Chain A
Amino acid sequence: MSFTPNIPNASVNKEYSYLITFPPIYHGIVISGIDKDEIGLEIESITENSFKIFGTPIKSGTIEIKVKYIQEGLFSNKSKEEIFELIINPDPRDLWKDLPVPDDIEYKKENEFTKCVIPQKEGLKNVIAASKRGRSHAQEAKSRDDHFKITFNPDNEWYILAVADGAGSAEFSREGARIACETVWEFCNQKLSENQDFDNAIIAYKQAADSKDEAKELEARKVIGNQLYSLLVMAAYKAHVAINKEATQKERQAKAYSTTLLLSVVKKFDFGWFTSAFWIGDGAICLFDMNNKTAKLLGIPDEGEYSGQTRFVTMSEVFTDSTALFKRLRFNIVDDFTALFLMSDGVSDPMFETDFNLNNYDKWVEFYKNITENQENPVDLSHEKSEEAKQALLNWLNFWSPGNHDDRTIAILY
């Protein structure tokens, strides 16, 4: 039986080293077929019978290694030649294509988008957001389906943050996500500008909470709940209606525009930060505070609650149960916090994997450090660097996670 070495596969861009040792009856071994300039690997003789194949491959494929040798026989020596195969895998990163979206598609949208909001007032936080087309879409010349809108209104000092993730399986979800963000923003901005009712309810609630009178607090909490309902839930409902209208006009099913929605309105009062959120579908909204060591999810990821079934703004059944809708609302008043995150599942899935992890403070610390102390693309979240940070955040979204190549969108208020 002839000698068959078990040469492990190599991979492009990965350092490789393998020692191949031939049986002692092999003499005058000459090896050819490994060309450093062509494949990036070289071979070196260590002893008469062992050779080291090493280097970092630059080209994928199956390499034929030719081995010539003299086999010592009982009566005569035979000159022999054998061929061994060395497989070089491609670097998966090179296999992903970045194909442009055709110019003539309906609802054209940029492959990436980034924005920062810097309020011109001492003590206020900045917002940065970035959104990027996923590799799975780039591979097939498909559009980004995610969308976001972030603003700060200097007149009433409300922040509005919206992130939407168009469903991959829905053909026009990129437009569903855009309509969702634009509609909820317009509605909230108008409502918050109209009068002071909401602001007053928050102030009243804070007073009630400080009074330590439980009945009073409960009463004030109900008022806020109702106000939030008519703000955030109604905004989402307006988005639902607007998307349905567009679908009807184009004689399509609303389902073709399926999108999730993560919405948050935030304001700084003298007594602290009021944060609120409403969220339909997967992804995550989290109020993260390193000083108090807390990470509060401002909602329930749909996946956990409804066993793998994501809900969309386009589903009318989402809006038929007001008790369930109330349960999706969250608000908090805190002295301060490190960051408020809104993100699509293109970010939360690779970073957290499970709902259990999303509820784990330590995982959020890891996540925060992954952004700020990233080896390849760190994002400097110091205040004076926000302009640079938005681009850095977009670069950070390139992070590599095998099997996770969805569109990625993240907004950070910090």
Chain B
Amino acid sequence: MRRLPVYLVLDTSASMQGEPIAAVRRGVKTLIDTLRTDPYALETAFLSIITFNTNAHLAMPLTELMSFKEPDLNASGCTALGEALELLSVKSDIDVIKTDQNVKGDWKPLVFIMTDGAPTDDYRYGLAEFKKRKFGMVVACAAGRNANINVLKKITDNVVQLETADSRTISAFFKWVSASVSTSSMKIESGAETGLLSELPPPPPEINVVI
């Protein structure tokens, strides 16, 4: 079976403490609960969570939705976005099954990155590694005004922004990610992945597309 790998790369630095990280926890839970009721997603989507603060961590390895349990997310430390991109690259190399003569490999992974700040590490190596891999849709979300959009723009053309990083906007973001995974797991059947934001459901008013 061709799986649809989905990577959530989430900022858990100190600035996310309190309401934002609680909203992220709830968001991940809602995301899983919603996708569990979608037959396409339940059969094909596999989810992994990478968090980053002073270092990058694999909070949840690539797991089918059936067995997925939300990891406990806590906020502290700096913002090692570069290391997160590097870990994502390494993990996707191991996780994603390539097509060979006997099996059709996995679909190209979807990646959703969320950060509320600017990288505190030298992100260039991680970014270069990330760019070497073929991902499907990559969406970067700047949560609040302190996120560095220019850095996110270097990762992907698909950058969205939340005006503030609070429970309302973060919840809206995760609902939109959930709808996007649903749509993608359905659409891959008919082929044609362009990796453009226009393939996803239109974002709600809380989410601004950065052009």
Cross-chain contact A9 with B103 (CB below 8 angstroms): no
Nearest chain A CB to B66 CB, angstrom units: 5
Partner among B39, B68, B191 whose Cβ is within 8 Å of the Cβ of A95? B39
Closest to B45 in A: A403
CA–CA, A406 and B189, complex, Å: 8
A interface residues, Cβ below 8 angstroms from B: 6, 8-9, 11, 60, 62, 87, 89-90, 92, 95-96, 135-136, 139, 168-169, 308, 353-357, 401-406
Can you name 23 A-B residue pairings with CB atoms under 8 Å? A8-B67, A9-B67, A9-B68, A11-B66, A60-B36, A89-B42, A89-B65, A89-B66, A90-B42, A92-B39, A95-B39, A135-B39, A136-B40, A169-B191, A169-B192, A353-B102, A353-B103, A354-B99, A354-B104, A403-B1, A403-B3, A403-B43, A406-B189
With both chains docked as a complex, state the minimum distance between the C-beta of B176 and any C-beta of chain A, in angstroms.
Answer: 21
Number of interface residues of B (CB under 8 A): 28
B133 an interface residue at 8 Å Cβ cutoff? no
> Which of B1, B2, B40 has the most A CB atoms < 10 Å from its CB?
B40
Task: Tell me, rounded to whole Å, the shortest Cβ–Cβ distance linking A2 to chain B.
Answer: 13
CA distance A96 to B37 in the complex (A): 10
Task: Kindly identify which residue among A89, A168, A356, A404 contacts B102, using a CB–CB cutoff of 8 Å.
Answer: A356
Q: Please name the residue on chain B nearest to A405 by beta carbon.
A: B189
Task: Decide if the interface of chain B is mainly helix, strand, loop or mixed.
Answer: loop
- What's the minimum C-beta distance from A234 to chain B, rounded to whole angstroms? 30
A139 to B40 Cα, complex, angstroms: 10
Residue of A nearest to B38 (CB): A95
Closest Cβ–Cβ distance, residue B165 to chain A (whole Å):
27
Query: A402 contacts B102, CB within 8 Å?
Result: no
Interface flags, B32-63, vs A, CB<8A=1, else 0? 01001111101110000000000000000000
Q: A9-B67, A308-B191, A353-B102 are in contact. Are A90 and B44 (CB under 8 A)?
A: no
CB contacts (< 8 Å) of B150 on chain A: these are none
- A89 / chain B contacts, CB cutoff of 8 Å: 36, 42, 65-66
Q: How far is the CA of A6 from the CA of B104 in the complex (A)?
A: 34
Beta-carbon contact of B44 and A402 below 8 Å: yes
Tell me the residues in window 81-130 of chain B with beta carbons closer than 8 Å to chain A beta carbons. Answer: 99-104
B69 located at the interface, meaning its Cβ lies under 8 Å from any Cβ of chain A in the complex: yes
Main secondary structure of the interface of A (DSSP, over half): loop
Q: Interface on B for A, CB 8 Å cutoff? A: 1-3, 33, 36-40, 42-44, 65-69, 99-104, 186, 189-192
**Residues B39 and A403 in contact, CB atoms below 8 Å apart:** no
The residues of A that contact B99 with a CB separation of less than 8 Å are 354
Additional pairs, 6, CB under 8 Å, beyond known A9-B68, A92-B43, A402-B43 = A9-B69, A11-B66, A60-B37, A95-B38, A169-B191, A403-B44
A354 to chain B minimum Cβ distance, whole angstroms, is 6
Q: Do A136 and B66 form a contact, CB below 8 Å, given A92-B43, A95-B37?
A: no
Q: Which residues of A contact B39 (CB under 8 A)?
A: 92, 95-96, 135, 139
Q: How far is the CA of A353 from the CA of B105 in the complex (A)?
A: 10
For the complex formed, measure the closest distance between the CB of B35 and the CB atoms of chain A, giving whole angstroms. Answer: 11
Q: A168-B190, A401-B1 are in contact. Are A92 and B101 (CB under 8 A)?
A: no
A92 to B42, CA, bound (A): 7
The 4 closest A-B pairs by CB, nearest first: A356-B101, A95-B39, A402-B43, A403-B44
Residues of B close to A92: CB separation below 8 A = 39, 42-43
A353 pairs with B42, CB closer than 8 A: no
Among candidates A87, A354, A401, A402, residue contacting B101 with C-beta atoms closer than 8 Å: A354
Chain B residues lying within 8 Å of A62, measured Cβ to Cβ, are: 33
Q: Which of A60, A356, A402 contacts B1 (CB 8 A)?
A: A402
